Amino acid sequence: MKTVNHVHHSIDGKGLMLGKPAYTDDLADPNSLTLKVLRSPHPFAKIVAIDVSEAEALAGVSCVLTYKDFKRIAITRAGQGYPEPSPHDKFVLDSMVRHIGDEVAVVAATNLRVAEHALELIKVEYEVLEPVLDFEKAQNNSSVIHPEPECHEMFPIGFDPKQNLAAAYHLEVGDVESVLKECDVVLKESFYTQAQAHVMMEPHAVNARLDYQGRLMIYTSTQTPTHVRRIVATALDYPLSKIRIIKPRVGGGFGGSRQVRVKGSNLRIRLKLELKDILNGVEKKVKVKRLVRAEGVTYTSCDTCKGQGSVTRISNTILGRMQTSAACPTCHGSGEIVDQKPKGANAQGLIYKEERVEINIPPPDL
């Protein structure tokens, strides 16, 4: 009885309470590209034309992706085992949008501000279609939500896209009608509830990189890393052996973190090459930004942190008296305060200097 009736401390509780990096976004490289998604303003429409040229020309934008940049591979986003018991009726990006907020285009940029500006420069022409807003009127509706021929099911689940049926089954135990005839009172009523969603604290998040062997490393807040790996490999037509999924500490799930999806305003993609070039498998010449001291700048030691770059805080917690260090709010961790700085220098008197480095980076071996 070494365990029962004994107090045991949480294995990871202390680290989480101290704010140690544990979750997906904590593990994102600060030099990663930031991803923003352009979303549909219409509940049901077809993209007639899309122009991303101005967004691609914006300084700081690494690439802009639309449905034209992906193969027409139908997938399911539900991580529900294999064979998957849900219709393959989704694409990474599609020429049709089926709800307000559906994905239209993706921008990868050096920071959030640039990415959001790039979204404003994308021009989209839609053919607005009649939406199906009542599920009870969906079957055999004149508006077919999934007319694309690539949609399919892996085994019979009652999927019938021409009738707008995602799945159907019929179940009856015993002779129901005979039992109802013998009842003194029979009540028949339809009940409707409001829309519901799982309320985990951590939003959907992901960051990715290519490792030294050319493998795609994905950190994501998922409950089902095996399913994510399989679905991503299928969607990108990328070898399964070249993908590794790492599931850090997940801030709640309840089933809502099983599907393959990414939500949020500041999503990071850890790829050193542009996403489009990685998927197309071409060589890339990179432009490197390096941080240099600006000329004509003088520095003084920070009075707050005494030149150490950090300040110490002492607080009382449930674990006792705790001493923590944090970056100095005055000098931002540099230990120095800039007296004079030229235009373009940051708070520490540093400026970015761009240089074109002629380095041919080969594509990953597929």
Residue 362 pLDDT: 46
Same domain, 302 and 248: no
Tell me the per-residue pLDDT of 185-210, one tens digit each, with 9 for 90 and over.
Answer: 999 999 888 888 778 888 888 888 88
**Average pLDDT, integer, range 148-175:** 92
User: Which of 3, 22, 4, 2 has its CA nearest to residue 12?
Assistant: 22
Residue percentage of the chain with pLDDT more than 90: 39
Structural tokens at position 121: 């420069």
pLDDT at 187 (0 to 100): 92
- The reply to whether 244 and 329 lie within a common domain is no
Task: Say whether both 123 and 244 belong to one domain.
Answer: yes
User: Pick from 233, 264, 282: which residue ends a domain?
Assistant: 282
Same domain, 27 and 128: yes
Average pLDDT over residues 260-282: 39
The pLDDT of residue 345 is 57
Q: Is 8 domain-assigned?
A: no
Domain identity same for 68 and 146? yes
Q: Is 56 part of any domain?
A: yes
Q: Are residues 274 and 331 in the same domain?
A: no
Give me the mean pLDDT over the 229-243 stretch.
90
Is there a single domain that holds both residue 265 and residue 312? no
231 within 8 A of 75, measured Cβ to Cβ: yes
Kindly state the tokens that stand for 215. Answer: 């493998």
Residue 258 is predicted with a pLDDT of: 72
Cα(63)–Cα(79) distance, integer angstroms: 29
Q: What would the two tokens of residue 347 be?
A: 């708070």
Closest Cα to residue 133, out of 49, 229, 42?
Answer: 42
SS3 123: strand
Q: Is residue 366 part of a domain?
A: no
The CATH number assigned to the domain holding 45 equals: 3.90.1170.50
Question: Same domain, yes or no, for 36 and 110?
Answer: yes
**Can you tell me the distance from the alpha carbon of 286 to that of 29, in angstroms, rounded to the nearest whole number?**
18
The residues with which 45 forms a beta bridge, in sequence order, are: 97, 128
Burial 48-61 (b: 16+ CB within 10 A, else e): eebebeebbebeeb
* Residue 345: inside a domain: yes
Task: Tell me, yes or no, whether 133 and 260 share the same domain.
Answer: yes
Q: 108 and 75: one domain?
A: yes
A 10 A CB-CB count for 278 gives 21
Separation in Å, CA 25 to CA 14, 174, 214, 327 = 19, 52, 22, 20
Query: Which of the four pLDDT bands, split at 50, 70 and 90, describes residue 335?
Result: confident
Where a domain ends, among 282, 308, 343?
A: 282
Supply the range of the domain harboring residue 76: 13-168+202-282
Which one of 226, 258, 282 terminates a domain?
282
The pLDDT tens digits of the residues spanning 253-265 come to 877 777 776 432 2
pLDDT tens digits, one per residue of 90-124: 999 999 999 999 999 999 999 999 999 999 999 99
pLDDT at residue number 291: 45
Alpha-carbon dihedral of residues 266, 271, 275, 278, nearest 10 degrees? -160
The pLDDT confidence band at residue 290, using thresholds 50, 70 and 90, is: very low
